[in-house]
């Protein structure tokens, strides 16, 4: 080491690196138009150059950029300069944003670039002043992530809530009242029935009270608790009666959600138990494949196949059993379609808690002489309960949010998710749509927080489902037979439906003219293929930021301590929990006019995908980081690496598998998404699922089947490639909450 001071590791601190973004902010401000007249983003319209805007306010952006530039080049004390940069960057940002929001001018290239640069300046400031205890990269990342969450998650949702109570610019609760009072929402008393529905509901309340009282008596509760128990039981009873006898979107959605969640959870439990304790290996292996299905299938494809299997002229109902009924339209059909779609999700959640059961526990109780039933009742079941609760609540949320199945199979009833859509897209009543959206959102959030409060942090968002090793007791034979028949029935049904889609893509006219043909694929190639390619392109382009942003957020949340960390967690949780239709309305309301005009472009679709799929990548990143010793990063830091270098050279190589996994899942989920983006498609920005839904509705069934088959097969290929890459037997875990 002859060159002792060659390793001059101390960065020169006489000036700050913030001069580069400050300079960029200034140049962008002067060289590019700050606003734009309409949707065309890449305009050089001279009317929107800063000097043509006729506003002094907007020049504050330049003033603060210059202040930051000067500050970063002056030989100040590091912390003092940091404070100065923070103030200059922050105020510059604020003045730019406030000008845009105040005038309602859509942001232009100049605004975009200079504001981004000012965020970086602020990041330098926060880091140098020591307010964020890390380097400028982390500080800027924290700022960007927070701003993204505000702009693309909280702001649109806020607009929804505001639209619900602000009609024509003034505050009123009339719309909320009239919407919630509308028979579309709740229709309690059916005039066509002899008895009163409310009386029936009250009868349920009475039954509930009696049962509650009996239970309370058996527990010898004191009076106050006795009364409380009876009250709760009465409310639960009335609620059940309300779901059964009430009509309108609210009771219908509640009823379907309850049915679906119950059946899916139980079936999921059957699968999970079989997966771990069956004597038949092939059952375990096929479970791995089944867990993939919901991820690769556009959500409404099964609804579409169900009509052909179980409709009035359905292959099963009519040709096999000679039943002519269209009972499939309505609660039955929607529930069945949702059960088929969500059972694998419930399975993945429950599998996590089944896998975490310790075989030693069971062995211990077996040595104590417990037979298998006792064992199951006293040991296994209590351990399973949290997983079951998780699965139940997650399925409830999914059912509320589901949009495609009710649209196709809904029958004569309305559902909350479809009412959001028809209020906006059909009746064009944004206020009404916003009220519905707020109701749906608050129901989902209540469930979400109840779950967090009840089950603690081990929520379904963080389920990792690491399979544990160790040998498990086989199931009792009778029980195994029972479970296997459930599994066989389910598998048969699903295979039949998938096969019917594939078959339908090769016949002339499904159900009427069964001549084999390639015509549907020819039609698909001329009309569907460009849309498919476009969708794949947007999905791929959005998957990259979705994966990296998710990864970055995971890194910040897990490894950095900063003010607002729980805010970032909350925001990304919100984008996970919000039903797609609500987010769709939110985006169209928030980004159609004003400073953040983005609609009718690929950008808005890509942004929707990014923030919809980012939580999956966050979960992957969090799970991956948990397995990496933090001292690796600290070692890298003490070896002079900035956090961006550490991320690039240490964490990315070590976490490359979960990262690629996040990338591919973001892609696949984007390819099969519909509920949010159906609000956002515009001429030239058509997406495969939206086109597919149109074909289904318009009766272009052969083509729809062809598109469905191609989507499913190509997504399956992508997933299989991923599994090959990661050498994992199933990749379902990452897809929970698809």
What minimum distance in Å lies between the beta carbon of 737 and other proteins? 26
Comparison of 27 and 445: residue with beta carbon closer to other proteins: 27
Name the pairing type of β-strands 513-516 and 170-171: unpaired
CA angle 358, 364, 370 (to 5 degrees): 115
Check residue 513 for interaction with other proteins (CB under 8 A).
yes
CB atoms < 10 A from the CB of 585, how many?
29
Comparison of 573 and 704: residue with beta carbon closer to other proteins: 704
Pairwise CA distance, residues 349 & 268, whole Å = 8
Q: Which of 114, 127, 163, 505 forms a contact with other proteins (CB under 8 A)?
A: 127
Q: Which of 55, 182, 202, 459 forms a contact with other proteins (CB under 8 A)?
A: 182
620: left (phi > 0), else alpha (psi -120 to 50), else beta? alpha
What minimum distance in Å lies between the beta carbon of 671 and other proteins? 17
509 strand-pairing partners? 513
Kindly determine how many residues on this chain lie close enough to bind other proteins according to the rule CB under 8 A: 115
Q: Which of 49, 175, 247, 612 forms a contact with other proteins (CB under 8 A)?
A: 247
| DSSP letter for each residue of 320-340 | IT-----TTSSHHHHHHHHHH
HEC profile of 221-273: CCHHHHHHHHHHHHHHHHHHHHHHHCECHHHHHHHHHHHHHHHHHHHHHHHHH
Q: Which of 70, 593, 626, 713 forms a contact with other proteins (CB under 8 A)?
A: 593
Check residue 599 for interaction with other proteins (CB under 8 A).
yes
| Burial of 99 per CB tally in 10 Å (0-12, 13-18, 19+) | buried
Comparison of 654 and 720: residue with beta carbon closer to other proteins: 654
592: left (phi > 0), else alpha (psi -120 to 50), else beta? alpha
Greatest CA separation found in the chain?
A: 101
Site for other proteins in 356-385 (CB under 8 A): none
Check residue 191 for interaction with other proteins (CB under 8 A).
yes
Site for other proteins in 255-284 (CB under 8 A): none
Going residue by residue from 50 to 89, which x/- string records binding to other proteins, judged by CB under 8 A?
A: ----------------------------xx----------
Comparison of 168 and 629: residue with beta carbon closer to other proteins: 629
What minimum distance in Å lies between the beta carbon of 14 and other proteins? 13
What minimum distance in Å lies between the beta carbon of 49 and other proteins? 19
H helix runs in 422-528, sequence order: 430-455, 477-504, 519-523
What minimum distance in Å lies between the beta carbon of 551 and other proteins? 13
Going residue by residue from 610 to 649, which x/- string records binding to other proteins, judged by CB under 8 A?
A: -------------------x-xx-xxxxxxxxxxxx---x
H helix runs in 32-172, sequence order: 59-73, 78-103, 109-128, 136-149, 155-165
Q: Which of 147, 445, 527, 716 forms a contact with other proteins (CB under 8 A)?
A: 527
Q: Which of 313, 385, 466, 477 forms a contact with other proteins (CB under 8 A)?
A: 313
Pairwise CA distance, residues 605 & 109, whole Å = 19
Sequence-ordered list of residues with C-beta below 8 angstroms from that of 27, at least 6 positions apart, any chain: none
Q: Which of 100, 136, 397, 443 forms a contact with other proteins (CB under 8 A)?
A: 136
Pairwise CA distance, residues 589 & 597, whole Å = 10
Site for other proteins in 698-717 (CB under 8 A): 698-701
Comparison of 647 and 719: residue with beta carbon closer to other proteins: 647
Comparison of 235 and 603: residue with beta carbon closer to other proteins: 603
Q: Which of 29, 424, 490, 506 forms a contact with other proteins (CB under 8 A)?
A: 424
What minimum distance in Å lies between the beta carbon of 21 and other proteins? 7
What minimum distance in Å lies between the beta carbon of 339 and other proteins? 20
Q: Which of 31, 40, 214, 495 forms a contact with other proteins (CB under 8 A)?
A: 40
Q: How many residues does the chain have?
A: 738
Asked whether the beta carbons of 186 and 250 are under 8 A apart, the reply is yes
Site for other proteins in 102-121 (CB under 8 A): 116-117, 120
Distance of CA 688 to the CA centre of its chain: 19
What minimum distance in Å lies between the beta carbon of 120 and other proteins? 6
């Amino acid at each position: 080491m002859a060159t002792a001071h060659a390793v001059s590791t101390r960065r020169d601190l006489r000036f700050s690196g913030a001069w580069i973004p400050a300079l960029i902010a200034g140049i962008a401000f002067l060289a590019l138009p700050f606003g734009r007249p309409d949707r065309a983003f890449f305009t050089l319209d001279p009317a929107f150059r800063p000097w043509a805007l006729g506003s002094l306010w907007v020049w504050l952006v330049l003033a603060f950029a210059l202040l930051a530039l000067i500050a970063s080049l002056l030989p100040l004390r590091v912390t003092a300069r940091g404070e100065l940069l923070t103030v200059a960057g922050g105020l510059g940002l604020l003045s730019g944003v406030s000008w845009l929001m105040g005038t309602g001018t859509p942001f232009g290239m100049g605004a975009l670039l200079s504001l981004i640069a000012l965020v970086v300046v602020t990041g330098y400031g926060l880091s140098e002043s020591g307010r964020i205890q890390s380097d400028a990269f982390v500080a800027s990342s924290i700022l960007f992530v927070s701003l993204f969450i505000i702009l693309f998650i909280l702001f649109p949702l806020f607009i929804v809530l505001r639209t619900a109570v602000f009609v024509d610019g003034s505050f009123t609760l009339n719309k909320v009242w009239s919407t919630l009072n509308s028979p579309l929402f709740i229709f309690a008393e059916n005039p066509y029935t002899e008895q009163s529905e409310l009386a029936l509901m009250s009868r349920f309340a009475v039954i509930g009270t009696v049962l509650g009282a009996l239970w309370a008596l058996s527990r010898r509760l004191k009076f106050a608790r006795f009364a409380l128990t009876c009250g709760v039981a009465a409310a639960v009873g009335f609620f059940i009666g309300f779901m059964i006898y009430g009509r309108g979107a609210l009771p219908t959605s509640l009823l379907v959600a309850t049915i679906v969640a119950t059946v899916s959870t139980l079936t999921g439990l059957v699968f999970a138990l079989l997966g771990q304790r069956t004597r038949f290996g092939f059952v375990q292996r096929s479970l791995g494949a089944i867990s993939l299905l919901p991820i690769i299938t556009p959500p409404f494809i099964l609804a579409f196949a169900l009509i052909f299997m179980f409709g009035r002229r359905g292959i099963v109902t009519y040709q096999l059993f000679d039943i002519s009924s269209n009972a499939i339209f309505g609660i039955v059909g929607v529930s069945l379609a949702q059960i088929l779609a969500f059972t694998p999700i419930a399975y993945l959640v429950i599998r996590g808690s089944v896998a975490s059961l310790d075989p030693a526990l069971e062995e211990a109780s077996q040595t104590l002489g417990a037979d298998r039933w006792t064992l199951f009742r006293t040991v296994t079941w209590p351990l399973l309960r949290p997983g079951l609760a998780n699965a139940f609540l997650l399925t409830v949320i999914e059912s509320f949010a589901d949009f495609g199945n009710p649209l196709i199979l809904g029958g004569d009833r309305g559902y909350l998710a479809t009412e959001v859509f028809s209020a906006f897209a059909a009746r064009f009543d944004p206020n009404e749509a916003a009220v519905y959206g707020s109701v749906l959102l608050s129901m989902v959030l209540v469930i979400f927080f109840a779950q967090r409060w009840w089950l603690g942090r081990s929520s379904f968002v963080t389920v990792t489902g690491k399979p544990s090793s160790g040998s498990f007791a086989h199931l009792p034979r009778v029980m195994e037979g029972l479970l296997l028949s459930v599994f066989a029935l389910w598998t048969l049904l699903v295979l039949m439906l998938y096969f019917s889609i594939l078959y339908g893509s090769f016949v002339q006219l499904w159900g009427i003219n069964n001549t084999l043909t390639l015509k549907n694929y020819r039609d698909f190639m001329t009309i569907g293929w460009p849309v498919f390619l476009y969708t794949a392109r947007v999905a791929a382009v959005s998957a990259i930021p979705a994966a990296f942003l998710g990864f970055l957020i995971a890194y910040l949340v897990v490894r950095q301590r900063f003010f607002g960390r729980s805010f970032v967690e909350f925001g990304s949780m919100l984008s996970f929990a919000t039903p797609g239709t609500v987010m769709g309305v939110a985006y169209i309301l928030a980004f159609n006019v004003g400073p953040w005009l983005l609609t009718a472009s690929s950008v808005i679709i890509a942004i929707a995908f990014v923030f919809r799929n980012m939580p999956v990548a966050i979960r992957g990143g969090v799970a991956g980081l948990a397995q990496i010793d933090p001292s690796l990063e600290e070692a890298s830091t003490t070896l002079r690496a900035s956090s961006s270098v550490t991320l690039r050279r240490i964490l990315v190589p070590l976490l490359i598998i979960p990262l690629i996994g996040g990338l591919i899942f973001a892609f696949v989920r984007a390819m099969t998404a519909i509920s949010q983006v159906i609000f956002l498609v515009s001429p030239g920005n058509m997406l495969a699922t939206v086109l597919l839904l149109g074909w289904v509705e318009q009766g272009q069934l052969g083509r729809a089947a062809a598109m469905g088959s191609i989507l499913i097969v190509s997504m399956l290929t992508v997933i299989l490639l991923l599994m090959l890459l990661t050498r994992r037997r199933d990749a379902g875990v990452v897809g929970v909450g698809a």
